[in-house]
Amino acid sequence: MIRALVIGNSHAAALIKGWDQIRDGYADKVDLSFFATWEPIYRQLGFQGLVFGAHADSDLPQHSQDRLVEMNGTAQVDLTGFDHVLHVGLLVPDADLIDTARRFDVDGLPEAGHPHRLSRPAFDALVDSHVQRPPVRALLQGPWAQLGNRLTVLRRPRARQSLFGPAESPAASIFGTAQGRINAALADQAASAGIRFLPQPVQTLTPPGLSDSRFADTAPRLMGDKTYTRPDLYHMNAVYGAFCLKAWLDSMT
């Protein structure tokens, strides 16, 4: 029996719900646990050795610690005993790329006739700069790396296709191309750090490489029965979560 842990921010909710859909298929193979909380709380958690969470010396406000316990039954999780850990919801801040995709034509990609034009070297350099941003560096170079190849990283889902209109829209192509490049760079960096990188399952993507909007319907929240509503660009539903879990679990079993 493999002991596995899914840990992360609000994006873990899709996997928690997704596990309900597929757990029977792994009943005698995987003992899966979850530890998740909202991003504003999650980013204030830390390590002591391999124990992750809110520690005695934490600056996390008491009400946040209470929420953390309410969600997980504990304020900390010891990663020592897990064979595999899936870190869910890595934030690569990319909202600015949505603006770029909507305002610029890019060499070599479908064009909308915008007055502003971006060369491919400038576009590539812009996209690559996103992988140098603090959340990524913190994960790949920080204490998480001590888990080595027991750790797998799953990014926050890509923005929804519906944000860009039809799949053939130039903006969708530009944004999707950027996402592919970010993923490739992340995979390289993760490999260099001895960490595994789990790409978003292709079944959940549209041809340009954005999240298929079908998987955004009824995206669950971490607490309660409410779901994310339309203005949300990134949260996905249980079906998406099941695809991600299957891809991860099947790679280890």
Residues contributing to the site for another protein (CB under 8 A):
93, 95-97, 99-100, 103-104, 107-108, 115-122, 125-126, 129-130
Laid out side by side, the sheet with 46-48 consists of 46-48, 51-53, 76-78
C-alpha to C-alpha distance for 198 and 4, rounded to whole angstroms: 15
* CB 97 to another protein: min, Å: 7
Q: Which is nearer to another protein, 117 or 137 (CB)?
A: 117
Q: What radius of gyration, in Å, describes the C-alpha atoms of the chain?
A: 19
Q: Which is nearer to another protein, 63 or 116 (CB)?
A: 116
Going by C-alpha positions, the residue among 32, 185, 158, 178 that lies closest to residue 89 is: 158
Going by C-alpha positions, the residue among 132, 38, 152 that lies closest to residue 87 is: 152
* CB 186 to another protein: min, Å: 17
Q: Which is nearer to another protein, 30 or 233 (CB)?
A: 233
Q: Which amino acid is at 84?
A: H
Q: What is the biggest distance separating any 2 CA atoms in the chain, rounded to whole angstroms?
A: 59
* CB 108 to another protein: min, Å: 8
C-alpha to C-alpha distance for 121 and 192, rounded to whole angstroms: 24
